[in-house]
Amino acid sequence: MKIFHVHKEVLVDAPFFKNTMKPEWSRQEDKVPVDLTDEDSTIVEIYLKWLYSHNLPTDFGSGFHQIFLLYVLGEKLMHCTFQDAVLRGLIETCESLQSVPNGSTIKILYNGTTAGSPARQLMVDMYCWRGEAKWADNRFDDAPAEFMRDCMRALMGVRKVPQGEVPWEKDVAQYFLGSKDKKREE
């Protein structure tokens, strides 16, 4: 277990910590630690450094795992300003890598946020506006079903509804197995 020492003056900028310092919530001793042992210590350390500098690391490696863990920590600590900074970092990382997070990484975000989360909306928008058909081959592996529903809903909302004769009226036989066998025999 790693212990971090943080100045009280810095913590009052963070809503969660500000609340823990209220007289009605405070502990008997002013220096009793707040327990964040469930969190990855590297993520907590990045957050605490951000509290002092308002700067996030610019290099998150080749993945998005750490970025989403930071966002989820911001969600738990109710620190909107930090979450906004993380989303800015996410967008910059996506642009610099010319990539978007895959389904298993998005799962971190969906497991740590609630419906209506701006970060969820950003992921859906990125997939809808930048996505390619070939992504279906591997990027959706392990993606949460809720993310897939959100993407489908968004895609149906942004696409142009095709005009003209619908495929099942134009050639209904394409859907019938017996009709396909008949065409093969010809």
Cβ-based burial of 174 (10 A; exposed 0-12, middle 13-18, buried ≥19): exposed
* Counts for the chain of helices (H) and strands (E), in that order: 10, 0
Cβ proximity of 103 and 135 under 8 Å: no
Domains with residue ranges and CATH for the chain: 8-99 (3.30.710), 102-160 (no CATH)
Which residues, given as ranges, of the chain have pLDDT below 70?
1, 7, 9, 12, 17-33, 60-63, 179-186
pLDDT digits (tens, 9 = 90+) for 68-112: 999 999 999 899 999 999 999 999 988 888 888 999 999 999 999
| Neighbouring residues of 182: CB distance < 8 A, sequence distance ≥ 6 | none
